[in-house]
Amino acid sequence: MSIRLQIAAMLFLMIQAMAFFAGTIALLLSPLSPEAMRLLPWVIGGTAIVSALLSWWLAPRLRARTWKQEGPLDFLK
């Protein structure tokens, strides 16, 4: 199992939790709220796909060698 996959798996859980929360709140506050029980599986699937892609994209940026090369606070310079 690659390091990128391990980091992405840990990120996925956190991103999925936040995306599911945001998607559920958006669904319940929208005019589609009467259909929420039918649409909730789509929210789960959509947020899982978005979370997987986002965590795979973010994983290389969290590796220690990236922090050594660029430094954690290089964006402040």
Q: How many beta carbons lie within 10 A of that of residue 60, not counting itself?
A: 13
**Residue 63: per-residue pLDDT:** 80
Taking 70 as the pLDDT cut, the residues of the chain under it are: 66-77
The CA-based dihedral angle spanning residues 38, 39, 40, 41, taken in that order and rounded to the nearest 10 degrees: 90
Query: Alpha-carbon distance 44 to 20, whole Å?
Result: 6
pLDDT tens for each residue of 24-44: 999 999 999 899 899 999 999
Residue 69's pLDDT is 63
